[in-house]
Structure 1
Amino acid sequence: MIVRTALPLVAEHGAAVTTAQVARAAGIGEATVFRVFADKEELLSACVAEALRTDHVLGEIAAIPLEQPLAERLVEVASAMEAYLGRMGRVLGALHASGHRGAGGGRAEVLMTRLRGAAGGPGAPARSDADSSDSGPAMSDREAAQRRTSAAVAELFEPERDSLRLPPETLATIFLAMLFSRTRSAGDDLSPTVEQFVDVFLHGALGGQPR
């Protein structure tokens, strides 16, 4: 509950957020915060971990009815993924902008480069020197999250498997890579809507029947 309350405050204030602000928003005493977390740094680390979690968005994807037309399924998954990436980006971006360099969430600028990896697919950036200190288990966790996300999206293609040009797993990888590119440019004048993005993904750029 404390972390859920702290997340929007961290997204707004970055590392400048105070435990007193969090306590007031949660309707608890500040001492209660310190009974759960050793210090503010530990709370910020918990917020970063929560922002990076994929289980919430995976639950949303799993709840998409397979009876819906494929286009509607893909619009729903795109909207869910973009909301997840947006939440993550706001938290990590605010920490980065406020100069946070502490443990757990300190390398927010490095974590920001992993937004693409969280979306799954081959578009994840190569690891930089700043990533070289990552532990093996942490990398395995990220790779496992990517695989789960890709598998969840692949399930949405299964009802049409017999009419697909590529296997569902391959299409899920392509879809997520394209979706991340759209998310990065969201807000630009030329950025397509989610519906336009899905339509072009399914039907291509050319109108009419192929010759």
Structure 2
Amino acid sequence: MSEATSRRRAPAMSPEQRREMIVRAALPLVVEYGTSVTTAQVARAAGIGEGTIFRAFGDKDALLAACMAEAARPDDTLAHVEAISLELPLAERLIEASEALRGYLSRMGAVAGALAASGGLRREFPPEAGGKRAMNGREASMAATREVLAGLFEPERDRLRLDPERLAEAFQFMTMASGRGVTPLTSAELVELFLHGAYAGGGREN
């Protein structure tokens, strides 16, 4: 049996579905190899012919740009945060949100770091990238994140010192910074510090 006939045939998909499938297969390879990844490697991982990649993206640079755009797309993470039950205590809601956001930042950083370390992208994100929320750049993504985080604070609005929107912004920036440093805070430590401050027992300095 020839290689062409032994290779698993790609299922019937729309062009957009095929591109998404190829990007999903390519992302772990991009993290491992950066810009040195080959279309042949991606084709093997996706179980398709190499020509299918070129028909879907045109060239490898377009594929790499699509991979970076997918890694930067926050749709799934924001949907996860939006789905957190408001019946949970606030601390548990924020821990789950922190874990989701930090996972997203870690994945995005892994892809961006691998590409940068191996020469960087030679092509900008494709204009159609952005998914269901049609994100228009980093500021729009940050704003959407603040919006879903504010929803987690809303049930306690009458008990809060600040509006949910302002607390969401503060929590967002703390989450982004908390994974850095020599001894990064865990999500539970971050939420404890955010809700109760630095003093043990919630006390204040005289």
Q: Residue 30 of structure 1: CA displacement? A: 0.7
Q: Aligned Cα RMSD in Å? A: 1.7
Q: Is the 8 A contact 2:196 2:202 kept in 1?
A: no
Among 3, 8, 24, the alignment partner of 1:4 is 24
Letter aligned with residue 164 of structure 1 = L
Which deviations, in whole Å up to 9, do the C-alpha atoms of 1:24-52 show, x marking residues without a partner?
00111111111101000010011111111
Among 95, 99, 114, the alignment partner of 2:119 is 99
Give 1:62-141 correspondences, 5 Å limit: 62-104=82-124, 140-141=136-137
Report SS of the residue matched to 2:161.
coil
TM-score of the pair, normalised by structure 1: 0.79
Give 1:18-97 correspondences, 5 Å limit: 18-97=38-117
How far apart are the structure 1 equivalents of 2:165 and 2:154? 9
How far apart are the structure 1 equivalents of 2:115 and 2:76? 22
Q: Residue 67 of structure 1: CA displacement? A: 0.3
- Segments of structure 2 that go 5 or more residues without pairing to the other structure are 1-20, 126-134
How far apart are the structure 1 equivalents of 2:176 and 2:202? 29
Which deviations, in whole Å up to 9, do the C-alpha atoms of 1:129-178 show, x marking residues without a partner?
xxxxxxxxx8x532222111100000000010000000000000000111
Report SS of the residue matched to 1:2.
helix
Q: Is the 8 A contact 1:48 1:104 kept in 2?
A: no
Q: Is 1:192 equivalent to 2:188 in the alignment?
A: no
Partner of 1:112 in structure 2? none
Q: Is the 8 A contact 2:64 2:121 kept in 1?
A: no
Q: Is 1:176 equivalent to 2:172 in the alignment?
A: yes
Which deviations, in whole Å up to 9, do the C-alpha atoms of 1:57-111 show, x marking residues without a partner?
1111011001000000000000000000000000000000001241126xxxxxx
How far apart are the structure 2 equivalents of 1:37 and 1:210? 58
Q: Is the 8 A contact 2:61 2:121 kept in 1?
A: no
Among 202, 206, 209, the alignment partner of 2:199 is 206
Asked which structure has the greater CA Rg, the reply is 2
TM-score of the pair, normalised by structure 2: 0.81
Q: How many residues end up aligned between the 2 structures?
A: 176
How far apart are the structure 2 equivalents of 1:28 and 1:169? 46
How far apart are the structure 2 equivalents of 1:70 and 1:45? 38
Letter aligned with residue 145 of structure 1 = S
How far apart are the structure 1 equivalents of 2:176 and 2:58? 36
How far apart are the structure 2 equivalents of 1:93 and 1:209? 39
How far apart are the structure 2 equivalents of 1:101 and 1:205? 42
- Segments of structure 1 that go 5 or more residues without pairing to the other structure are 106-137
How far apart are the structure 1 equivalents of 2:202 and 2:102? 31
* Percent of paired sites with the same residue: 55
How far apart are the structure 2 equivalents of 1:209 and 1:41? 53
